[in-house]
Amino acid sequence: MPDRPVALVPAEPVDLAAVVAAPPLDNLRRIGGEMFSWSDRDAKRGPAQPSGGLLRYLLAAQAGPGRTVLVAGPHSDELIDVLAGSGASVTWLLRSLVDAEEVAAAYPAVTVLAGTLGKLEPDQFDLVVAVDGVSRLNSAEGEQMPVGAMLDRLALAVNADGTLILMHDNHFGVHHTVHLGAESRQGSDADWYPTDELDAGRPASRTELTGRLTDAGLVVEASYAAFPDPAAPAVLIGERILGDTSSPLRPWLGSAVAQAFTTAYRGRPVLSDPRRLAGRALRAGAEDAVACGWLVVATGSEESRFTGHDVLVGDVHGTFTYGVNADSDPELLVPLTEPVERAGLRRTGMPAVAAADGYLLEDRLLELCAANDVRRLRQEVIQFEEWIRDQARDGMLSGRVAVADVSDVLITRDGPVVLSVRWEPTEPVPVGTALVRSLWQFAVRLITGARPHPWPITSSAMDLTTILLGMAGRGVTEPELRTAVDLQVAIDSAELGLRPAEQHDHKLNLLAVQPGTVPVDVVGYRELTEALWRQRYHTSHLLHMMEWTEDIIASRDRWLSKMDWEIQFYRASWAGRALTLSRTAYRLISRDLRAARQRRRQRRTAAAASRRWHKAQKAKGLPAQPDE
């Protein structure tokens, strides 16, 4: 047995009488290799269990009455409810005996197997589900199977007409790259043996994974790159558009992936903002290499039972799911079970448009700010302001455009369109509030993201918002800005379910955005370092200004003291008094001489004017008047 920290079950009083009197679990079978003092269902001691609307849709589409299903590894209860509720015969394999007894009592209709994958009987199933991967199918109580062998064993469990749905973790994924925490064996109970790290036969890419399953006798129907977390995928990108930077889905895809990372990593400490890394990968066509995981749907025969889409988007906390293809409109696959309304907002459905030629307004504004192209930046802001004003009725906005900021707007040949917006207001919003909130949100991203822009680095979010609105011929007051911030707080409250006290603190944080402020949603160590550098830069700049001011004041004080000493010296001595009298006399004589010269010039000017007049009178033959 490998040397590992022992995972102890929390010490609680055990009622031995109740244990002895407990009825036997007829649906529980111990096949060997089960772990006794271990639990994979405690999220505080290991990775989270797979869940979310996307996985529920995929499993529900393949399950059904009369079908046999093998669930390999720990999965969330909601996925088991979907499989069992479809009428399928479910068999659940768990390596923890404690977990197996718990779920066997909770699901009497589910056959629970306690043990390792290597002890599984060579049965075949219509559907094999392993969206938790294969890392938790080994056991410390038996022989450690390599990853390749476990993939082959799962492939053998698929019958001729069956389907395998597998999620494979990418060790080079964004979620591992930005992870900030314990990386050693003391990180969590699940890190007791790093088999995946040391297994040379582990598939390290989507191509290797699909090739391995193909060699095992399966036909890969579809493969996806999963974001932002393999345990809770919100966006699945199909192989047809992976790496295709010319696809019309690219602008919308960048917005959808950014929203997924914002929701998943809000408030979580990370090494760096995952949205930046994912955005760079999408622009370079390298999203497959940095995907958080790869989801593969493979079958045992050439007959296809799976209807794929280029992109699948789902709600992590609900059932909502829709599919997008590059050559068709978005398709609603699973609607919301019931309307969701929070903080005066309503959960929206599919995007209005997904595939369109154009560019994201935020990307263009960031590009123009970095290039100091104020003229074109003013044009973009004016066009955005005119478009928002055209969408209003009686000065009020309704629907998605009321809460869409520049990151949600795609500029096409036919004009701006709104992409993925998760919420919409239940009541109309004033057009001024919507515009201020959009540009204020962009100003916040400029500051907290340390983005270059044409204005002084000391500008606050309020200053930048005022400048941007001034480009469109609008002004902003502090009450208008607070109203716009209240709208942003309502959006974040609807997304996160903030309590009133948390809303108050969140509003104060938003209003306090200044140069050196860290991002208010996803806080990364890199962003904290950048913010610290900016704060130190401003501090050093202020210190140098203070030193320069002190030097100027000290220099002037020295010269004033010297002049005062000279004055006092002159006034106290006879020579000084004589010099003072001489200077006074000189000033008086100079004044009188200036006055005399002035009078003499005036007389000369008057005489010249008189001569010219007499000459003119004589030339006209008129009698000359006597001078007065």
Question: pLDDT tens across 206-263, in order?
Answer: 999 999 999 999 999 999 999 999 999 999 999 999 988 888 888 888 888 998 998 8
Do 331 and 463 belong to one domain? no
Claim to verify: residue 224 and residue 370 sit in the same structural domain? no
Q: Is residue 229 part of a domain?
A: yes
Per cent of the chain over pLDDT 90 is 43
pLDDT at 19 over 50: no
Query: Is there a single domain that holds both residue 334 and residue 364?
Result: no
| Pairwise pLDDT comparison (447 vs 353), residue with the higher score | 447
- The answer to whether position 159 is within a domain reads yes
pTM: predicted TM-score of the whole model, two decimal places: 0.80
Q: How many residues does the chain have?
A: 628
130 domain residue, yes or no:
yes
Query: How many other C-beta atoms are found inside a 10 Å radius of the C-beta of residue 426?
Result: 11
- Check whether residue 416 and residue 284 sit in a common domain: no
Q: Are residues 313 and 363 in the same domain?
A: no
Residue 563 in domain: no
* Residues 71-95 pLDDT 10s: 999 999 999 999 999 999 999 999 9
When comparing pLDDT for 370 and 570, which is higher? Answer: 370
Domain identity same for 462 and 584:
no
The pLDDT assigned to 353 comes to 67
Q: Please, is 196 exposed, middle or buried when counting C-beta atoms within 10 Å of its C-beta (0-12, 13-18, 19+)? A: middle
- Check if the beta carbon of residue 271 is closer than 8 Å to that of residue 287: no
User: With 50 as the cut, is the pLDDT of residue 4 above it?
Assistant: no
pLDDT at 206: 94
539 or 380, greater pLDDT? 380
Name residues whose C-beta falls within 8 Å of residue 178's C-beta, 6 or more positions apart in sequence: 265, 270, 271, 272, 273, 274, 277, 524
pLDDT tens readout for residues 259-289:
899 888 888 888 888 998 999 999 999 999 9
Cα 611 to Cα 381, 601, 603, 607, 625: the distances in Å are 72, 15, 12, 6, 12
Is 178:524 a contact under the CB 8 Å cutoff? yes
In-domain check, residue 528: no
For residue 327, pLDDT over 90 is answered with no
Q: Is residue 117 within 8 Å of residue 82, measured between CB atoms? A: no
Do residues 228 and 94 both lie within one domain?
Answer: yes
The pLDDT score that the predictor gives to residue 13 is 45
Radius of gyration of the chain, Cα coordinates, nearest whole angstrom = 38
Residue 460 in this model has a pLDDT that exceeds 80: yes
* Same domain as 371, residue 252: no
Residue 322 parent element (H or E): strand 321-324
The token duo for 260 is: 């997924």
What's the whole-number mean pLDDT along residues 276-304? Answer: 91
* pLDDT score, position 55: 94
pLDDT, one tens digit per residue, over 522-577 is 887 777 787 777 778 778 888 898 999 999 999 999 999 988 887 787 777 777 77
**Amino acid, res. 371:** A
pLDDT tens column, 131-161: 999 988 988 887 888 999 999 999 999 998 8
Pair 592, 465 in one domain: no
Buried/exposed 118-157: b ≥16 CB within 10 Å, e otherwise: bbbeeeebbbbbbbbbbbbbbbbbbeebbbbbbbbbbbbb
What pLDDT score was predicted for residue 132?
93
Domain span at residue 126 reads: 16-339
Give how many domains the chain has, as a whole number: 3
Quick one: 243 and 279 in the same domain? yes
pLDDT band at 624 (very low <50, low <70, confident <90, very high): low
User: Per-residue pLDDT averaged across 489-496, rounded?
Assistant: 87
Highest mean pLDDT among 340-344, 407-411, 435-439: 435-439
In a domain, 529, yes or no: no
Residue 129: predicted pLDDT: 96
Yes or no: say if 129 and 121 are a contact pair by the CB < 8 Å rule.
no
